[in-house]
A and B are shown apart, each in its own frame.
Chain A
């Protein structure tokens, strides 16, 4: 990466203006989804920790996070996972198989798969969010 000036967001602004290509957006989105997933992982472990209180405590916590609002948020989570996973595979394929030249093509292939994943997720998760408990 190039030398950036100071500022937390400055480097991202600079990167996008210096190199306004698909690859830069993919890099930025990979970073944003990565940070979201790290934060989610902490929450995930926190909720699962209720199991130390046994069945009652675990089920009480799990019922709190299984309602329409959380089922809708889960769609977002699957989208974040799917993007990070598919773009991560694109990076790995480009790195390991010397395919950095067609990386943009591989990105768009990954995005087609992303859209397919998202549609399947919406079909499965949306009725769930509005089904009575």
Chain B
């Protein structure tokens, strides 16, 4: 690792691993429930019946930002390896944070579009 971006990079390293451990559990559960059960043909009613339960809503409320953080922080690590200049670092970091938060909010909104239909 280079020292150019200085402090803060260790948090990125640590959070990538913490979100990664969470995602390992979430993703296995997510794929098992959606693709390894008898109801493998997915439609609106199947999703709304699952999202009727508070447990599943909480599951997705954690899953969505954890996944997006991991995705964008990972993308940052790839970009960082190309040694961007100081101004580019700030611009890209800002862009990734804005995108990550915006898509998280969008994801939260989508969770509740499945609640109304039930």
Interface set of A (CB-CB < 8 Å, partner B): 1, 4, 11, 31, 34-35, 37-38, 41, 45, 48-49, 51-52, 54-55, 58-59, 62, 66, 74, 78, 81, 85, 88-89, 91-92, 95-96, 124-125, 128, 133
Contacts and interface: CB of A to CB of B under 8 A. Distances in A.
A95 B113 contact: no
A66 B42 contact: yes
B103 interface: yes
A85 B27 contact: yes
B80 to A, nearest CB: 10
Given A31-B78, A34-B74, A37-B71, A58 B44 contact: yes
A89 B24 contact: yes
Interface of B: 1, 17, 20-21, 23-24, 27-28, 31, 35-36, 40-45, 47, 67-68, 71-72, 74-75, 78, 81-82, 103, 106-107, 109-110, 113-114, 117
A57 to B, nearest CB: 9
Contacts of B106: 45, 49
Nearest to A65: B42
Nearest to A8: B82
A94 to B, nearest CB: 11
A88 B74 CA distance: 12
B35 A74 contact: yes
A92 B107 contact: no
Given A1-B81, A85-B27, A124-B35, A51 B17 contact: no
Given A92-B20, A124-B36, 14 more contacts: A11-B81, A34-B78, A35-B78, A41-B67, A51-B113, A51-B114, A52-B110, A62-B43, A81-B27, A85-B24, A85-B27, A88-B20, A92-B17, A92-B21
Contacts of A45: 103, 106-107, 110
A38 B110 contact: no
